[in-house]
Structure formats: C-alpha cells, structure tokens
Amino acid sequence: METTANAEQLVAKAQAQNLSFYYSDYQALKSINMTVHEKKVTALIGPSGCGKSTLLRCFNRMHDLYPGNRYEGGIRLHPDNTDLLSPDVDPIEVRMRISMVFQKPNPFPKSIYENVAYGLRVRGVNKRVILDEKVEEALRDAALWDEVKERLDDLASNLSGGQQQRLCIARALATEPEMILFDEPTSALDPIATANIEELISELKEKVTILIVTHNMQQAARVSDFTAYMYLGELVEFGATDQIFIKPQKKETEDYITGRFG
C-alpha cells in the first residue's frame, strides 16, 4: 500500500512489519504493515478501540511497562535497521530515541525548567550551561519560550492547559529524538490551544519524524502528510493524506471519512 503520489524523495524512518500485539489473550493489533516516513507527519485515525493508540505505544515499547503484553512481528527503525521490538533491544534505549507526548498534558510537579531538563538529566547531563542552552532551545522549538522565559522556576502546574502541552512537547524535544509520538495531544485542549499545537506540529516536521494519533479527522487532514485508517486492530488503508481524504481506495475508509460510520 505504499504511496507513490509524492514526487519528492521519501525516506523510511520506521517500518512496522507484520506487527501484531496482544493484551494477554486479546489480540489488539493484527499484522500491521506500515511505513513512517522521515520528517513527515503520519496520522493514525479510526474509531475508538481500533488500536491506534496501541500501535503508537508499540513504537516506544510503552507496553513493556505492564505485564501480559506481547508483540509479534517487528518495527524496523532506520537508518540502522534496528528492530525496536526485539527482546535484545532495551526498551529504555528505544525511548531515548523516540519520545512521546501524551493525551492529557502530564508535566511533572516540578519547575518549568526541570520539566524540560529531565530527559537530559536522565542521560547524565547535569552541567548548568548545557542544560540552560538545551532548555531554551527546546522551549523555543515548542513556541513556549517567550511566554515562560521570565519564570522558568515557576511550577509547571501554573501554566494553562495548552502551555502545559507545549511544555510536554519541549520536554520531548529537548533530548533531540529521532521521532516523536503524539497520542491525541489536543483532546484535552480548547480550540485555540489546539490550533497552536497543530501549527507547532507542522513546524516540527522540519526537524523530526512525527507519528500522531488523533480522533479528529479534520486534524489529521490539517497536519499530516500520510494517514492510516485503522479499524478493529487492522490497518484498513494507508496513503498520502490528500488521497485518503479525497479519493480513498476502500469503501470502509470512505464511510468513516464521510461520517457515515464511527
């Protein structure tokens, strides 16, 4: 189902290969094959319970935190062609390469500065000069610097919801990840904050590969270059966003997009 619609050079960043996932006995993902292209935004859409968040959380091995979860197949991360799901690969190493932004803003109950610096501290970076520089850069990239530069030592919980989510994006950016996973990042935000985050995502793809789960089809249409439509744990259709929204190949996709279903 590879698309050839785009003329520009596409480089694969990550490839799910026959990826299945089980919560104990329940199979939540059924043999997914999908390519995430480098420095593009790929959106996962589909009705609730279709497995889009489950798929997203495979990419940083979040499922390893809970007992009884099992992967089958693999996810190849390029350029080194590492199988992210291999038992030989430490999930912590995967999470150091691929960071994540959650559904609800989840800043740590620490200062704004420490929130952004935490990923670096985890990596053993404790020099103030380096931290200062990286924190500022990440906050600038997350379009939050101007709002918080005067009060970096304030608690993150004093920020508004939209600012908190941008802080979480800065936190994810600070460690220079190769890829960022967004799990319905605007579902807890008001329309203006949502618009800001969407704009930010479009800017971020200059630097980093983005995979985003969204329950909002218009959002997928606005921010993504590629869209995958999932239903009941299966990847129904994958392609360039324009093509998926204007001329879907499958009837199910069309029904969902046009609102007849889901």
Partner 1 sequence: MDLRDIQSIRAVIARGKRWDVIFSLLGLLALMTGVLTFVALFADMTIQGAPRLSLDFFTNFPSRRAGEAGILSAWVGTTLVMLTTAMAAVPLGVAAGVYLEEYAPKNWVTDVIEINVTNLAGVPSIVYGLLALGLFVYQFGLGQSILSAGLTLALLILPIVIVATRESIRAIPQVIREGAYALGATPWQTVRDHILPYSSAGILTGVIIGMARAIGETAPIITIGALTFIAFLPPAPYQETLPFFNFDWLMAPFTVMPIQMFNWTSRPEAAFQANAAAAGFVLVLMTLAMNGLAIFLRYRLRRNIKW
Binding residues vs partner 1 (CB under 8 A): 60, 62, 65, 67, 92-93, 95-96, 99-100, 102-104, 106-109, 118-119, 121-123, 155, 157, 168, 171-172, 175
Give least dist CB 77 to partner 1, A.
15
- Complex with partner 1: residue 67 or 259, whichever CB lies closer: 67
Give least dist CB 91 to partner 1, A.
8
Coil vs helix vs strand at 122: helix
Q: What is the largest CA-CA distance in the chain?
A: 56
Neighbours of 258 (CB within 10 A): 11
- Complex with partner 1: residue 123 or 250, whichever CB lies closer: 123
Give least dist CB 224 to partner 1, A.
21
Give least dist CB 244 to partner 1, A.
28
* Contact partners, residue 171, CB within 8 Å, separation at least 6: 99, 107, 115, 116, 118, 119, 138
Structure tokens of 148? 């918080």
Question: Per-residue b/e over 159-172, b at no fewer than 16 CB within 10 Å?
Answer: beebbbbbbbbbbb
- Complex with partner 1: residue 89 or 195, whichever CB lies closer: 89
- Complex with partner 1: residue 89 or 96, whichever CB lies closer: 96
Give least dist CB 64 to partner 1, A.
9
- Complex with partner 1: residue 70 or 247, whichever CB lies closer: 70
Establish how many alpha carbons lie within 13 A of residue 6's alpha carbon, considering only the half-sphere containing its beta carbon: 14
Locus of tokens 């043999």: 31
Residue 214 to residues 119, 225, 233, 242, Cα–Cα distance (Å):
25, 14, 15, 16
